[in-house]
A and B are shown apart, each in its own frame.
Chain A
């Protein structure tokens, strides 16, 4: 509460309200497919922001966030299919169920570091979708669960479903961003960063390291669960084929490319992940290239974008934007002055800690054990 009344809290709130207004106007002006893409982007933002908390703030990597999305998606599909509860309730329950799953995984993950944690979460991401095949009756096997979802009737019979999906998804994404930004600036967030930067020092300072790490997993999983729930109502389905390891990697890509450690970066990362392949497909198919070439151009463009961003902006797009703003002299003191209290959006100095400091920190920890 204290955070939200501060001037920075107000600025975050203002920026989010501005984004909401822009999305609202765009959703009315653009065609329905763009609405659908807005929903897709917002879904990614929700998941990527969650992973940013886990990886960027608490220093734990996850290659299995697709599995958490699957849990949220199937929870939503099952509740809508069998109980037909209102969506907002289903959304909250999906987040809660996934948070519980996150607590379980987090408890195990708190004992693991670096590549071992990556391996364990990778296992989760690969194995969990197969559960749907194993329990065919409940989860519909390979064909998954298909739901029929309509915009609330209060919006009138001709209200486009895609616009409703864009609105709901954007609202959820913005609320998640607001909550995460505040959490990151609270005591919890400071504890996470302390644990990330040096576990021994954090423990000596009185931080409960294991709890901080588990909590990060819970929060992050809840975000992924919400994203999965949004994915179910936008695509009107929950199928194992949607939650392959590719999805987990795409979420991680979004977090890294946007700028690990920055919630704003989650937005940039999601824009890249969703829009670059579509844009490249449009370009490739409109130039009469042979199928075998055209089909691979989106893959190439996506890869090239990732390489370019990493080469030009090693701190992700958000880091790059800060640097450019700094060059243009628009930047505030934030980029140059080491923040007395670490902010939701980390300074370049903090990026270094995430990218380089942490692995060493955790190795040291293991050495001492």
Chain B
């Protein structure tokens, strides 16, 4: 008995040695970045980690499962679909883009883990379209200290704009402060003398939005400010307070589920104000579907499209109702061929494809054999306007993306743009002006031209 127990230690040691031997065999050889020639005839080289002569491998984190997955899980597959289209049409200087997106379940611990997997194990060139404010905040420091390009965070938080301390990180979508200002100006101008109330999510998204609204709406107009936590689906107390305040206009910085809850609860309490909703929470297809499914859970039948009729919102990408728009036609074409299972006219799909287009623009600007620093320099130098209706803000001192949006209303289940594109900055006093330029057409090839 005693003897056999002693045998166990040597056996364990042997096992350990075997494991180590196996590990030693799989040790990786790192490729050293070589010279980068950027003239058009230069051979394609492995100019940076994640770049070979034939591929550019990038990574991303996004919720594919879990509470945040409905809607958001469509974004990265749509981006990957656009990359497939580009790859089939010559790629980026001949290289194919490999987009490896991993599920983080919208859990910051998971984000921290899968981001390290992408960077430390898969050796991606950079990360792209990492989704969510709390999730991405968990890895911003890591990505910047490893000097990994952190391109186009899928969140409108102002917090991605720290060019000196976080030079690798760039936003993309219209930030919530600019959006708040644009919505705020519209409210101040169109609902003069009316009582306005705020309904917003109790985090950076809602608070950045409220910041922008307050820059434009006189405090005397605001009769009530109600926030909600996205973990509590009972918004009846907030809606009762909104009703009690006598608000005639309710402006909502909410995610789609809570826009739907706001609408349904208002309906229940016999409260029918004019709704003004942030772009994030107003995607017509998502909203209409949510309203119908929530009502069904409560044992009622509603017509989602008719409930959202007349909601005022804004948009920074062309609307699907503009069927003759060249960008909409391009995205529909790519979707039909490479992402056919995704729902039609869904804002998340458009978002993914448009961001992917912008990424290809940035990669082209970075040169034929780019290092990681080349991509950052290219974005700091600015890239030409693309699918976003306003120019990008990118410069060495500004890492946010879209600078403006148009106002619109939802009619018959679709966003109908109204009025010009408005551009502004994130400062309290920065003017909101009409964009005088014109958005370029989508290229006929569907792939941005090399600079």
Contacts and interface: CB of A to CB of B under 8 A. Distances in A.
A244 B117 contact: no
Interface in A205-262: 231, 234-237, 239, 241-242, 244, 246-247
- Determine chain A's interface SS by DSSP, over half rule: helix
A26 B20 contact: yes
Contacts of A123: none
Interface string B72-116: 010011001000000000000000000010110011110011101
A18 B202 contact: no
A32 B141 contact: no
A130 B4 contact: no
A295 B341 CA distance: 15
B191 interface: no
B439 to A, nearest CB: 30
B24 interface: yes
Nearest to B28: A31
Interface in A1-54: 11, 14-15, 18, 21-22, 25-26, 29-37, 40
Contacts of B13: 18
Contact of A242 (B76, B102, B109): B109
B1 A333 contact: yes
Nearest to B204: A143
Contacts of A35: 120
A35 B120 CA distance: 10
Interface stretch (B131-139, B371-379, B381-389, B403-411): B131-139
Contacts of B20: 22, 25-26, 29
Contact of B137 (A18, A29, A143, A298): A143
B23 interface: yes
B429 interface: no
- How many of chain A's residues touch chain B, expressed as a range? 35 or more
A303 B150 CA distance: 33
B394 to A, nearest CB: 24
Contact of B121 (A15, A34, A231): A34
B297 interface: no
With most chain B CB atoms within 10 A of its CB, the pick from A11, A26, A36, A234 is A36
A84 interface: no
A106 interface: no
Contacts of B24: 29
Interface in B4-54: 4-5, 7-9, 12-13, 16, 19-20, 23-24, 27-28
Given A148-B141, A242-B109, A290-B341, A332 B1 contact: yes
A141 interface: yes
Interface in B221-276: 229, 231
A238 B423 CA distance: 36
Interface residues of B, number: 53
B120 A237 contact: no
B65 interface: yes
A239 B1 contact: no
Nearest to A35: B120
A198 interface: no
Interface string B124-146: 00000000011101101110010
A29 B137 CA distance: 30
Contact of A142 (B7, B16, B203): B203
A281 B101 CA distance: 11
A224 to B, nearest CB: 15
Nearest to B106: A241
With most chain A CB atoms within 10 A of its CB, the pick from B69, B108, B137 is B108
B133 A36 contact: no
A285 interface: yes
B64 A142 contact: no
With most chain B CB atoms within 10 A of its CB, the pick from A14, A40, A239, A331 is A239
Contacts of B108: 144, 235, 237, 239, 241-242
A41 to B, nearest CB: 11
23 contacts: A15-B9, A15-B12, A22-B20, A30-B23, A33-B121, A35-B120, A141-B202, A141-B203, A143-B137, A144-B134, A146-B137, A231-B109, A236-B141, A239-B134, A241-B109, A241-B134, A242-B108, A290-B341, A291-B73, A291-B77, A295-B64, A295-B65, A330-B4
Given A26-B19, A36-B116, A236-B138, 6 more contacts: A14-B9, A15-B12, A18-B12, A143-B204, A247-B109, A291-B80
Enumerate the 9 nearest inter-chain pairs by beta-carbon distance, A residue then B residue, closest first: A295-B64, A33-B121, A32-B120, A33-B120, A235-B112, A142-B203, A242-B109, A29-B23, A239-B108
